[in-house]
Amino acid sequence: MANPTSEGMSQQRWERTHDYIEQLFSDDPENWSREDDAAVAAGLPAISVGAAVGRWLSLLAAMSREGGAQLIVEVGTLGGASALALARGLSPSGKIITIEADSHHADFATGALARAGESRVDVRVGEGLKVLPDLVEELGVESCDLLFLDAIKTEYFGYLEAGLSLVRSGGLVVADNVLGVGNGWVPDSIDEEPTRVAIDEFNRMVSDHPRLQGTILPMRQGLLVALVR
């Protein structure tokens, strides 16, 4: 019979572990649920990264440069919740540029960021694959401390190709949902569902990339973190 003290990561132990981490280390859960409720009431989908991943984003932004990040680029703003989490890791003079294709989401995010008193986030309406090359022109190569990907999963590969040159050596690439979205758990599935295949290709691109040293934090739907060398 299995010894309960050495059961490994059973489903129940995973849930208890996750609850424990969330209770101790989440990024202001009450505020997150208030903001998520307001976003849903305005017609936005309930798909923000959530409080536990939010804490990781704040921490990674803070660790991406001594004194906090100076410049962060995000693809996929939604209601601005992840941008607010990233902003907690900015240096006082830092800035976030966040790209959102849906103007209703972008308008909501602009309002939510203003309500939160956060003026360091610039919301740009457009598609990630089109805006990222423009940002390379505008900001210059190696200008940014952290690139966060959280828009269309089948485009992650393209976002990385278009945006990696923005990130300075020593900066970070971070991507959400790299273990699964609504279409199955990436390591479990054997089918050729396009989103699953695209996420798998993106993870393999990062793992093989000569400039990237990364891994996946297996929390929620998987958070990829890679150091740019």
8 or 112, CB closer to ligand SAM?
112
The minimum distance between CB 163 and ligand SAM, in angstroms, equals 12
**Number of residues located near ligand SAM, criterion CB under 6 A:** 20
- Determine, following the binding rule CB under 6 A, whether residue 200 of this chain makes contact with ligand SAM: no
Inter-residue contact 64 to 78 (CB < 8 Å)? no
The minimum distance between CB 26 and ligand SAM, in angstroms, equals 14
The minimum distance between CB 68 and ligand SAM, in angstroms, equals 20
Q: Which of residues 56-115 bind ligand SAM (CB under 6 A)?
A: 75-79, 81-82, 99-102, 105
The minimum distance between CB 2 and ligand SAM, in angstroms, equals 37
Main-chain dihedrals φ then ψ at residue 223, nearest 5 degrees: -120, 115
For strands 144-149 and 69-75, give the pairing. parallel
In the stretch 121-160, what mask flags binding to ligand SAM with x, by CB under 6 A?
------xx---------------------xxx--------
Consecutive H or E run containing 203:
helix 194-208
Dihedral sign from CA coordinates of 227, 187, 155, 73:
negative
Instruction: Give the contacts of 32 (CB within 8 A, at least 6 positions apart).
Output: 26, 48, 50, 51, 54, 81
64 or 82, CB closer to ligand SAM?
82
Q: Distance of CA 207 to CAs 53, 131, 140, 215, 217, Å?
A: 21, 25, 25, 8, 14
The footprint of ligand SAM (CB under 6 A) covers 47-49, 75-79, 81-82, 99-102, 105, 127-128, 150-152
